[in-house]
Chains A and B, each alone.
Chain A
Amino acid sequence: MAVDVTQLRRSPLGHRYRELEELSALAPQATLAEEPPCTQLNLRVRPGSPPLDRVERALGVALPSRPNTVCESVDGRYATLWLGPDEWLVVAPDGTAEPVCNALNTALNTALDGGPGSVVDVSANRAVLRLSGPAARDVLETGCSVDLHPRAFGPGDCVQTMLARAQVVLWQRDDLPAYWILVRSSFADYLTDWLCAAVRAQTRGR
């Protein structure tokens, strides 16, 4: 009997949905929720090489060359996050892992000429939390040493750093501000505990 694996899929924070909803109702200045699953691909290709152009054309999004920035497609369906000088995280709609992987592999293989490069589906690697509201930055600043002030960090910026001693990819989505926090699934429960406590502490009496 064939098993439909998509039916077996569990979201890392699915069991805390109600808890996060209740907290967000109490503290609308900084609402916390898990994002619906999305496709995440780790892409490595040498900057300034022909395969990189092919990959950008296949994706329809540029790969940011400036560290700690994000490029998004016009329709907002695809995004590329800078992870390293030759490494990016491709965020794509849920369920597109296979076609996008194949397209990128073709772009890499036909143009690589034996050079280095890879694309790996890491969708299950990280859970995605969304923290948004006027107090969101205050919440993050209690556990993160990177400067998140608008003069240094704004929409379209991402940063890999430690948040409450957990390694995260932090991506500011808009001016509200809203942040995406991508964290290893095994750290998701811990980080949610910490974020809930920080949200309570920062929104108390507001």
Chain B
Amino acid sequence: MLLIECPWCGGRDETEFGYGGQAHLSYPDDPHELSDERWAEYLFMRDNPRGPFAERWVHSAGCRRWFNVLRDTATNEITASYPIDAREPVAR
């Protein structure tokens, strides 16, 4: 079981959280301008790195807030958790 640090509530069991996939994806400024290929890329294609990965989590059994987590996909080590509107931490 992962222990995830909620920026507001502190460390809690993984079972209290929901997963939201890759973080820091922004909606295209003008979706009508995109080709079908680019649109499909935005909708479906996600990074799948081995190593540090910024991803969204929601503390659904607690404060019900979305936030971002920097997790190493190889070791499951969580190095940072930060509010949804904060920038991705640079130091890895």
Shortest distance in angstroms between B13's beta carbon and chain A's nearest beta carbon?
5
Asked if residues A67 and B63 are in contact (CB atoms below 8 Å), the reply is yes
Q: A30–B64 Cα gap in the complex (Å)?
A: 31
A67 touches B9 (CB 8 A): yes
Chain B, residue nearest A152 (CB): B10
CB of B6, distance to nearest CB on chain A (Å): 9
Evaluate contact between A160 and B61: CB separation under 8 angstroms.
yes
Contact (Cβ within 8 A) B13 A68:
no
Q: Do B9 and A160 touch across chains, with their CB atoms under 8 A apart?
A: yes
How many angstroms from the CA of A146 to the CA of B65 in the assembled complex?
18
Contact of B12 among A83, A85, A145, A167 (CB under 8 A): A145
Within B1-55, which residues are at the interface with A (CB < 8 Å)? 8-10, 12-13, 15-16
Complex CA distance for A160 and B62, rounded to whole angstroms: 5
Q: Which residues of A contact B65 (CB under 8 A)?
A: 84-85
Q: Is the CB of A84 within 8 A of B12?
A: no
Q: Does A162 sit at the interface, judged by CB under 8 A?
A: yes
Chain B residues with a Cβ closer than 8 Å to the other chain, count: 12
Q: How many residues of A contact B (CB 8 A)?
A: 13
The 8 Å CB contact of A145, one of B9, B13, B64, is B13
B8 pairs with A161, CB closer than 8 A:
no
**Is A161 a contact partner of B63 (Cβ separation < 8 A)?**
no
A68 to B9, CA, bound (A): 7
Asked if A67 and B8 make an inter-chain contact with CB atoms under 8 angstroms apart, the answer reads yes
Interface on chain A toward B: helix, strand, loop, or mixed SS?
A: strand
CB-CB under 8 A from B63, the residues of chain A are 67, 83-85, 87, 160
- Complex Cα–Cα for A146 and B61 (A): 12
Q: A85 CA to B63 CA in the complex, in Å? A: 8
Q: Name the residue on B nearest A163 (C-beta).
A: B61
Known A-B contacts A145-B13, A161-B16, A162-B16; A85 and B61 likewise in contact (beta carbons under 8 Å): no
Residues on B with beta carbons closer than 8 Å to the beta carbon of A162: 13, 15-16, 61
Contacts of A68 in B (CB 8 A): 9-10
* A51 vs B68: C-alpha distance when bound (angstroms): 29
Is B64's CB under 8 angstroms from A161's CB? Answer: no
What residues of B have a CB within 8 angstroms of the CB of A67 in the complex? 8-10, 63
| Per-residue interface assignment for chain B, residues 46 to 83, with 1 indicating a CB less than 8 Å from any chain A CB and 0 otherwise | 00000000000000011111000000000000000000
Chain B, Cβ-Cβ closest to A66: B8
B8: which of A85, A145, A167 is its contact (CB, 8 Å)? A85
Q: How far is the CB of A165 from chain B (nearest CB, A)?
A: 8
| CB<8 Å pairs between A and B, sample of 25 | A67-B9, A67-B10, A68-B9, A68-B10, A83-B63, A83-B64, A84-B63, A84-B65, A85-B8, A87-B63, A145-B12, A145-B13, A146-B12, A159-B9, A160-B9, A160-B61, A160-B62, A160-B63, A161-B12, A161-B62, A162-B13, A162-B15, A162-B16, A162-B61, A167-B61
